[in-house]
Amino acid sequence: MTEQLLNPEGIVTELDISHLTSPPAHGYVTEDDTPVDNLQSEKQRLLVEPLYSSKPIPSPFLAAANVGLFYKIKSDPIVPDMMLSLGVQCADDFSQKQNCSYFVWEFGKLPEVCIEIVSNSEGDELTLSRKSQQKGKTIAKKDLYAQIRIPYYVVFDPLQQIQGQTEMNGALLRIWSNFAGRCTEMTSVEGIREIGQMCG
């Protein structure tokens, strides 16, 4: 039955995978104890706090910052700056390794939204940096999120670090939707260039 749930790249594609025996979490690196690298990174966790304190969306949901998203069995996770998954609940027991990250096969679904906040030009949010290319990476985050079919991908570049023509191109914020395997930008060609500007 597992082969029906995975595409040729080994990415989990079925939303209802409750009939699978969960792979053991002990083989995955769910935390590396790396300290926060700068104040902007630390503030990413503030993206989730208002969702929990003001309850703008119905429960249950999971909003998390800098948590590993394991989308493929026996593979490294992608770590969005923030993700939102509707209709799921976080486990209470964080002493269990499988409760410390977002394993798609444990939650039974992909998150609806992944957000990346650009803090430097090496994050690969839209295109691969030279450094990543030298390390042998072959796919930028935007393309990876599209490949695993995250419904909404958001890039916010508050310090205007990646403003090339194939990147943000003068915009502060860009939003893409991905339905039926088709990735479409929701923001205008110019993107959102100022606070208060509408999306489309």
Please write the tens of the pLDDT for every residue from 87-113: 999 888 877 777 889 999 989 999 999
Separation CA 193–CA 53 (nearest Å)? 29
Residue 26 lies in a domain: no
Count the domains in the chain.
Answer: 1
Residue 81 lies in a domain: yes
Percent of the chain at pLDDT exceeding 90: 44
Residue 191 lies in a domain: no
Question: What confidence score (pLDDT) does residue 1 get?
Answer: 36
Residue 27 lies in a domain: no
Q: How far is CA 193 from CA 107, 147, 169, in A?
A: 36, 27, 10
Which tens digits make up the pLDDT trace of 4-21? 556 677 666 554 444 344
What's the whole-number mean pLDDT along residues 25-53? 67
Residue 178 has pLDDT above 80, yes or no: yes
Separation CA 60–CA 85 (nearest Å)? 9
Residue 30 lies in a domain: no
Residue 29 lies in a domain: no
Residue 24 lies in a domain: no
Exposure of 69 in the CB half-sphere (CA atoms within 13 A): 30
Question: What confidence score (pLDDT) does residue 56 get?
Answer: 85
Contact of 102 with 78, CB cutoff 8 Å: no
Q: How confident is the model at residue 31 (pLDDT cuts 50, 70, 90)?
A: low
Question: What confidence score (pLDDT) does residue 52 get?
Answer: 86
Q: Which residue has the higher pLDDT, 129 or 188?
A: 129
Q: How confident is the model at residue 33 (pLDDT cuts 50, 70, 90)?
A: low
The domain spanning residue 50 has which CATH number? 3.90.1570
Range of the domain at 9: 2-18+36-185
Q: Which of 51-55, 67-71, 159-163 has the lowest mean pLDDT?
A: 51-55
Residue 197 lies in a domain: no
- Helices (H) then strands (E): counts for the chain: 6, 8
Query: Sign (positive/negative) of CA torsion 176, 130, 144, 7?
Result: positive
**What's the whole-model pTM score?**
0.78
Q: Which residue has the higher pLDDT, 42 or 135?
A: 135
Contact of 85 with 61, CB cutoff 8 Å: yes
Question: What confidence score (pLDDT) does residue 200 get?
Answer: 59
Residue given tokens 């949010």 in the structure block:
125
- Classify each residue of 118-141 as buried b or exposed e, where b means 16 or more C-beta atoms within 10 Å of its C-beta: bbebebbbbbbbeebeeeeeeebb
Residue 25 has pLDDT above 60, yes or no: no
